[in-house]
Structure 1
Amino acid sequence: MTVVIGFEGSANKLGIGIVRDGKVLSNPRVTYITPPGEGFLPRDTAKHHQAHVLDVLEKALLEANVKPSPGMGAPLVSVAVVARTVAQLWNKPIIGVNHCIGHIEMGRTITGAENPTVLYVSGGNTQVIAYSQKRYRIFGETVDIAVGNCLDRFARVLKLSNDPSPGYNIEQMAKRGKILVPLPYVVKGMDVSFSGLLSYIEDRAESLLGSGQYTKEDLCFSLQETVFAMLVETTERAMAHCGSKEVLIVGGVGCNVRLQDMMEKMAKERGATLFATDERFCIDNGAMIAQAGLEMYLSGQTTKWEETTCTQRFRTDEVEVTWRD
């Protein structure tokens, strides 16, 4: 029996999850929420995590009904200090986990997908990924900003609430949209670009709304439809290249039901199956770090103490995937 505790604190989500042999025992999470129209700053987010991390750790241990035992961590900034501290206190190995691979392994575990083409979409990342020869290979990605960042920044233009998240509130408004506003559609081979599209709709939002022809709901609907179509196109191209019959959506934007619906239609047309999860496991969480750490540990990987540093430039395809054939 192997029990792993995972620390996630790379953005405004602070999560600590405990996994035993692939079963999630606990996965509490708290979110740093800013006022409408504002993003979250690194220093303020770090203070939030510092103030809450021990409470979340205690809650995770209580929910899992376990006492301090095998531990690992892959958080950033202040959360990493706690991970290293508890590893020392409990005299347990520590494992550095790539954030994206945490999402993928959690998705595979929860959904049962075996060898899917993966669309990883979040506030900081947008990648189309497939496994080959001990690596998660990146087939396509954003050349500028991530799709979640695009949605979040447009939510600020409309002064939408950040509770529970800007993307969620755009999703709810988009359901009431009726008119599709033509927006730039930028696909470059296997890559996508969102910054020009965002600038285009930001610059025109006031005049579009002031014309009385369009509503905020129409703009949210139009933005979603355009960016999701770009993602479905590039994902389908990767599936065709790999001969894949499975597609898995992971990352915070992967909770979006409209994105899941669009991807499912494409998958069915190809005779493929869509795998997706809800907000418990799509949004950054500690259990995904624990699950990836478990796979790494069981395949013989641990991290040397002097190498337990954090980096925002840890590419998905840099990791040797020793736990898959």
Structure 2
Amino acid sequence: MVDMDAFAKPGKPYYLALGMEGSANKLGVGVIKHHLGPLDENNRAEILANVRSTYNAPPGQGFLPRDTARHHRNWVVRLVEKALKDSGVKVSDLDCLCFTQGPGMGAPLQSVVVAARTLSQLWELPLVGVNHCIGHIEMGREITGARNPVVLYVSGGNTQVIAYSRQRYRIFGETLDIAIGNCLDRFARTLHIPNDPSPGYNIEQLARKGKHLVELPYTVKGMDLSMSGILEYVDGLAHDLFSGKKSKYLYDEEDGERITVEDLCFSLQENLFSMLVEITERAMAHVDSNQVLIVGGVGCNERLQEMMGIMAGDRNGSIYATDERFCIDNGIMIAHAGLLAYRVGYGNELEDTVCRQKFRTDEVYVKWRDD
């Protein structure tokens, strides 16, 4: 059994950590408390603060690294101050500072790690670098109570099907090109719809009004999938629609009605989510699991949750998901995963805090789990 209390301070019945996330356009800071002993249904982590600021580019544009990094630099001190104020925690009470080490966009990651290094030296606190994907998984497990699920990790930069084995989160399948969140975001740019609160959310709302299912490429290759070709195809349909082109592909075969933007959003979601359900079910069969945990920003999509729930129900299983506070990138997930690592002796020297844009989920030794 892993000793989770070996590094507790004498006389202090809990651990406290502050986490900082900034791998993409979300800047988040969170403060979390772990009581001594193993975390389970009788001893849950306490979320003391979870604040966030989002950089949104104008409609039709994506967020550039330099602009996103500038946003993070401008807001990081204010968010740290607010998180400490909301939590009522003193700096002297903290056990460690946690930060996202990767994967993600280089400039935003670097802007946050510089802040973390600075605070670490000012406050004389140890640093703990966290894999962004592991942060999502561990926060999802903590919030939902899922014990050992197959994990579908879907976000702007990542699409992976994951299962735990022997102190590693093993990747069973993933995207071969772009992530599903990136696919949805880029289609939102084509449609010139707002980026606030998020492109994927706005596509979801349009999709609810769609009634014609347009046939799109379906690209599953074993346990992996590809989305760049689908994006190119649906982009072409959108451009033809906007230009007024009279193509047979822009009319429903049954009633002859012209396809709408809402129909394209509906069809794109149905197609992409069906691919995700297929590879997730295949992973569940492989590891003999009946639990699915959906994490990452795209995991907030209610239609994805519904489709996955139908599949899990057919297997006499269950689905676990969180709301936007924890699905979307946030600081509390970094604080939680970082504190789990700190409690089993993990930490970073200052010279080892270099960010890694390509930091794979299965590289992390999950020492805090031995089940």
- Interval containing the TM-score (normalised by the shorter chain): over 0.9
1:4 and 2:17 matched: yes
Aligned to 1:28: 51
The one-letter code matched in structure 1 to 2:97 is M
CA distance in 2, matches of 1:250, 1:102: 10
- Which residue is 1:19 aligned to? 32
Q: Is residue 73–residue 80 contact of structure 1 (8 Å, CA) maintained in 2?
A: no
Residues 29-178 of structure 1: pairs in structure 2 closer than 5 A? 29-68=52-91, 69-75=94-100, 76-178=109-211
Conserved 8 A contact 1:155-1:167:
yes
Alignment equivalent of 1:237, drawn from 282, 285, 293:
282
Deviates more, 1:246-255 or 1:74-83: 74-83
Unaligned runs of 5+ in 2: 1-13, 35-44, 101-108, 247-256
**Could you list the per-position Cα deviations for residues 161-217 of structure 1 after superposition, in whole angstroms to 9, with x for gaps in the alignment?**
000000000000000100000000000000000000000111121224535701111
Superposition deviation, residue 306 in structure 1: 1.3
2:300 to 255, 260, 273: 255
Please tell me whether the aligned partners of residues 18 and 25 of structure 1 are also in contact (alpha carbons under 8 angstroms): yes
Mapped to 1, the partners of 2:49 and 2:218 lie a distance apart of 41
Hey, what does 1:198 align to over in structure 2? Answer: 231
- Which SS does the other structure have where 1:131 is aligned? strand
Aligned length: 325
Structure 2 partner of 1:275:
320
The answer as to whether partners of 1:96 and 1:293 remain within 8 angstroms in 2 is yes
What code does the residue aligned with 1:7 have? M
**Is the Cα–Cα contact under 8 Å of residues 96 and 339 in structure 2 kept in the other structure?**
no
Q: Note the residue ranges of structure 1 that are not aligned, 5 or more in a row.
A: none
1:61 partner amino acid: L
Q: For the Cα contact (< 8 Å) 2:188–2:200, is it kept in 1?
A: yes
- For residues 212-267 of structure 1, the C-alpha deviation after alignment (integer angstroms, 9 at most, x for no partner) is 70111100000000000000000000000000121000000000000000000100
Which one-letter code corresponds to 2:23 in the other structure?
Answer: S
**Does structure 2 retain, via aligned residues, the 8 Å contact 1:73–1:84?**
no
Determine the C-alpha separation between the residues in 2 that align with 1:271 and 1:72: 41
Q: Larger C-alpha radius of gyration, 1 or 2?
A: 2
TM-score (norm 1): 0.98
- The residue identity in structure 1 corresponding to 2:98 is G
SS at match of 1:145: coil
Q: Is the 8 A contact 1:152 1:167 kept in 2?
A: yes
Structure 1: distance between partners of 2:17 and 2:223: 36
Please give the alpha-carbon distance, in whole angstroms, between the structure 2 residues aligned to 1:315 and 1:41.
Answer: 23
